[in-house]
Amino acid sequence: MTDLVWPVFVIEGEGQTEAVASMPGVTRLSIDLLVEAVGEASALGVKAVALFPKVDPSLKTPEGREAANPDSLMCRAIRALKAAHPEVGLFCDVALDPYNSDGHDGIVRDGVILNDETIEVLVRQSLVQAAAGADVIAPSDMMDGRIGTIRDALDQAGFAHVQIMSYAAKYASAFYGPFRDAVGSGGALKGDKQTYQMNPANTDEALREVAMDLDEGADSVMVKPGLPYLDIVQRVRETFAVPTLVYQVSGEYAMMKAAAANGWLDNDKAVLESLLAFKRAGANGIFTYAAVEAARLLKSC
Ligand code: PBG
């Protein structure tokens, strides 16, 4: 249970909920309701959440400026959650896609991702999130060299205690579709992310990416997506023996829920079996939208 990390989506307002149509059971919540929901999750034993904001389209710019705003929805949510539930670890995503009018994780000019300009914004995004109370900074953007630069900036600003979990082995996957609906980046996305996310056919590159990010100071690494990439989880864990996390992504979750809704799968058994498979592959932590339901199921086992 303590291995589960619950990804949550936050929206503006008070008393607001929005169901995510492509992810049955997942609801975007305004900060007040998110604080309540995380309290319930914590009581069930889920002691970590990963926060993702759905940013108002009027705040999106080509440089993703809102990402570095200390009073952004994301930073206000971090402060509220830390104040109410200090025992719950906060993984805070670092990437520009929720803030970028092009829907990409980095700044795009003339169709090309600008690696170094993007890193400057990612550093500022990391610093405002650390100042707001993030426990773990989680760069999911896949720009080259960002881990070392973010680590140095955090250390210099007095945030040596803030950890970095790198999305080191992140594939350009078809399984992210429902997430892009959830944060509202899918409609905006121009083109695809194949220049910075990895080719699903490639294994060794994942190990090189992990090695680089560890060398630059990552405390833990993420493999993403999950079930289709268990071989990568196992190789990373066996090669590096570092905390290795895995993300059961939105499309994997949607597949399970759609099949269960049709009576084609036993939901509870499928949820628990998929989580067991991650443990079998050696994962130390599991990001899953089913974290709270899994905690309930595990309690009643
Ligand atoms: C990108 C990001 C993605 C997810 C989380 N952060 C993928 C993407 O849009 O490339 C996907 C998570 C999921 O599908 O559940 N910053």
Residue 179 CA, ligand 1 centroid: distance in Å: 6
pLDDT (0 to 100) of residue 210: 96
Whether 113 has a pLDDT exceeding 70, the answer reads yes
Residue 301 CA, ligand 1 centroid: distance in Å: 32
Active site residues per annotation: 170, 224
Whether 194 has a pLDDT exceeding 90, the answer reads no
Model confidence band, residue 263 (pLDDT cutoffs 50, 70, 90): very high
Please state, for a pLDDT cut of 90, what percent of the chain lies above it. Answer: 88
Say how far apart CA 34 and CA 17 lie, in whole Å: 9
Window from 36-50, 95-109, 188-202, 229-243 with minimum mean pLDDT:
188-202
Whether 192 has a pLDDT exceeding 90, the answer reads no
The residue whose CA has the least distance to atom 3 of ligand 1 is: 176
The residue whose CA has the least distance to atom 7 of ligand 1 is: 176
**What amino acid is encoded at 149 in this protein?**
T
Model confidence band, residue 12 (pLDDT cutoffs 50, 70, 90): very high
Window from 35-49, 189-203, 262-276 with minimum mean pLDDT:
189-203
* Contact between 175 and 225 (Cβ < 8 Å): yes
* Contact between 51 and 75 (Cβ < 8 Å): no
pLDDT (0 to 100) of residue 184: 78
Window from 140-149, 155-164, 188-197, 254-263 with minimum mean pLDDT:
188-197
State which ligand 1 atom lies nearest to the alpha carbon of 7. 15
Structure tokens at 58: 């009027």
Mutate to test the pocket of ligand 1, among 20, 97, 108, 194 (most ligand atoms within 8 A of CB): 97
Residue 154 CA, ligand 1 centroid: distance in Å: 24
Mutate to test the pocket of ligand 1, among 121, 181, 249 (most ligand atoms within 8 A of CB): 249
Nearest 10 degrees: Cα torsion 258, 262, 263, 269: 0
Residue 300 CA, ligand 1 centroid: distance in Å: 31
pLDDT (0 to 100) of residue 37: 98
The residue whose CA has the least distance to atom 14 of ligand 1 is: 176
Distances in whole angstroms, Cα of residue 189 to Cα of each of 11, 120, 169, 196, 299: 20, 21, 21, 14, 40
pLDDT (0 to 100) of residue 180: 86
Higher pLDDT, 184 or 200: 200
Residue 103 CA, ligand 1 centroid: distance in Å: 11
- 14 annotated as belonging to a binding site for a ligand: no
* Contact between 68 and 98 (Cβ < 8 Å): no
Give the other-Cβ count within 10 Å of 185's Cβ.
26
Here the ipTM equals 0.94
pLDDT (0 to 100) of residue 1: 64
Domains and CATH numbers, the chain: 4-300 (3.20.20.70)
Report pTM.
0.95
pLDDT (0 to 100) of residue 2: 76
* Residues with C-beta less than 6 Å from any ligand 1 atom: 93, 95, 97, 105, 140, 176, 179-180, 193, 249-250
The residue whose CA has the least distance to atom 6 of ligand 1 is: 140
pLDDT (0 to 100) of residue 42: 97
pLDDT (0 to 100) of residue 252: 98
**Quick one: average pLDDT of 196-214?**
94
pLDDT (0 to 100) of residue 74: 98
